[in-house]
């Protein structure tokens, strides 16, 4: 274990306690150090070791001491202090677990990254984990794998250290899941790229120091004319137009970004020109596995808290949990969560060995999104009127986790990719 994995206290704000499951009996309030939350149980999985558990335990301390006490306030104000939180995580080594040591990473294999992603699910909201995931598994994987030493030292190293906040600039209006349709251009002029376009739904966009941008760098075929370019967000011509209000993920800023004649050196390209779409597809595998892994603990926690609440909530003189339909539904949901966990771990083990896991990553992402909708909706129903308030966690995750069926590729795209891997997707008709 790298010595940089430490747990130090930093800024503190009085806990407002707006969403602390106050309606629950004490037995229903669980910390991430409980066996039910998975640290000791983590050892039951073949791909994890004591080193994984220690890494996870160190992260758990940061979550419980320095993140969860402030989540309610961050949700109220609509933004969390990304630079402060990321610096704390960077100092402890959690923003570059599987990145090369020469750029400040821990140099561990991908299974440690999934251990971190899963533990982030103990944060009592969806917005903070998602913002961290953008930094570690969405904006930087292609840079770490294909970038030059120059761009790695300029953008990857400070992102791993937590000194810079990253965002991923791929989506546009009319080009969300279908990235082949983006309109943003980056044209060569002298030794620079001149960039023009508009990016939408950019997580971390208001606080980011740099963007991993996907843009058209030529007039060729849509899958061969795109490049990934690192764009400093303080460059002239970069306009953070607005903070987009969302259904959930309230404490995570989501921006609309306008780029007008933005000049960046051509040396800021990631890898080869024209390979951006391919790099983004490779990057998407880790993005989708991250989403699936990060969903496991919130779903598990909601089931556990719902079991405890329905033991004590009475209707017509008996606990809600005494109804067989409730018992069976919760048993079904628990089974589905364990199925998802097994799929995530299998894909993780294969990916750590360098094997192709695109089909499994798509399946895990699809299952996570569908299950997030089923678990949150079913559990909220059993909470009754209390579930419709802002005082319990189930209502927050009902809002936040709905995004998992949309972000990182919508469910429908995942189904198309799985069908393609199965060989059942019809071939395009010749024109």
Q: Give DSSP secondary structure letters for 49-67.
A: -HHHHHHHHHHHHHIIIII
Pairing assessment for the beta strands 166-169 and 210-216 based on DSSP bridges? parallel
**What are the φ and ψ backbone dihedral angles of 278, each rounded to 5 degrees?**
-60, -45
Q: Is 51 a catalytic residue?
A: no
Is 401 strand, coil or helix?
Answer: helix
CA 293 to chain centre: 9
Cβ contacts of residue 4 below 8 Å, gap of 6+?
91, 92, 93, 106
**Residue linked to tokens 């758990």:** 60
Catalytic residue (choose from 75, 119, 172, 287): 287
From residue 414, give the alpha-carbon distance in Å to each of 72, 276, 293, 349, 398: 33, 20, 16, 21, 22
Question: Which pairing describes strands 210-216 and 314-315: parallel, antiparallel, or unpaired?
Answer: unpaired
CA dist., res. 408 & res. 177, Å (int) = 8
**Alpha-carbon distance 407 to 426, whole Å?**
25
What's 137's DSSP letter?
A: I
**162 neighbors 176 (Cβ within 8 angstroms):** no
Query: Residue 99 in contact with residue 144, Cβ under 8 Å?
Result: yes
* Residue among 96, 210, 195, 202 nearest 154 (CA): 210
Supply 35's token pair: 């066996």
Query: How many degrees, rounded to 5, is the angle at CA 80 between CA 78 and CA 86?
Result: 155
Task: Tell me how far apart the alpha carbons of residues 52 and 33 are, in angstroms, rounded to a whole number.
Answer: 14
3-state secondary structure of 189: strand
Give the residue numbers marked as catalytic. Answer: 287
């Amino acid at each position: 274990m790298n010595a940089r994995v430490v747990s130090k206290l930093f800024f503190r704000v009085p806990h407002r306690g707006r969403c602390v499951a106050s309606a629950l009996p004490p037995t229903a309030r669980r910390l991430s150090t409980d066996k039910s939350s998975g640290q000791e149980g983590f050892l039951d999985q073949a791909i994890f070791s004591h080193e994984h558990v220690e890494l996870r335990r160190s992260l758990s301390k940061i979550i419980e001491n320095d993140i969860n006490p402030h989540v309610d306030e961050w949700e109220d104000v609509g933004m969390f202090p990304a630079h402060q939180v990321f610096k704390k995580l960077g100092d402890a080594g959690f923003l570059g677990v599987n990145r090369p040591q020469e750029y400040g990473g821990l140099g561990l294999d991908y299974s440690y990254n999934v251990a971190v992603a899963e533990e982030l699910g103990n944060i009592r909201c969806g917005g903070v984990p998602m913002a961290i995931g953008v930094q570690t598994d969405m904006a930087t994987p292609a840079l770490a794998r294909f970038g030059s030493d120059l761009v790695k030292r300029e953008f990857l190293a400070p992102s791993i250290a937590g000194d810079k906040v990253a965002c991923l600039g791929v989506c546009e209006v009319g080009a969300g899941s279908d990235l082949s349709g983006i309109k943003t251009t980056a044209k060569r002029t002298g030794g620079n790229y001149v960039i023009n376009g508009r990016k939408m739904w950019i997580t971390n966009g208001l606080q980011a120091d740099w963007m991993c941008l996907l843009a058209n760098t030529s007039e060729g075929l849509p899958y061969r004319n795109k490049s990934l370019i690192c764009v400093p967000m303080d460059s002239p011509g970069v306009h953070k137009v607005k903070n987009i209000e969302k259904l959930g993920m309230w404490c995570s800023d989501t921006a609309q970004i306008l780029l007008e004649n933005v000049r960046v050196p051509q040396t800021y390209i990631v890898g080869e020109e024209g390979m951006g779409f391919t790099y983004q597809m490779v990057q998407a595998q880790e993005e989708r596995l991250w989403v699936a892994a990060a969903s496991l603990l919130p779903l598990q926690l909601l089931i556990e808290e719902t079991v405890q609440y329905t033991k004590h909530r009475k209707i017509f003189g008996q606990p809600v949990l005494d109804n067989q339909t409730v018992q069976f539904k919760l048993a079904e949901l628990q089974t589905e969560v364990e199925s998802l966990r097994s799929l995530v771990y299998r894909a993780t083990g294969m990916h750590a060995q360098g094997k192709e896991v695109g089909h499994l990553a798509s399946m895990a992402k699809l299952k996570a999104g569908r299950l997030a909708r089923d678990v949150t909706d079913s559990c909220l129903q059993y909470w009754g009127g209390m579930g419709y308030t802002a005082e319990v966690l189930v209502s927050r995750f009902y809002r936040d986790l709905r995004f998992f069926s949309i972000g990182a590729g919508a469910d429908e795209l995942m189904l198309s990719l799985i069908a393609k891997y199965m060989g059942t997707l019809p071939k395009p008709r010749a024109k």
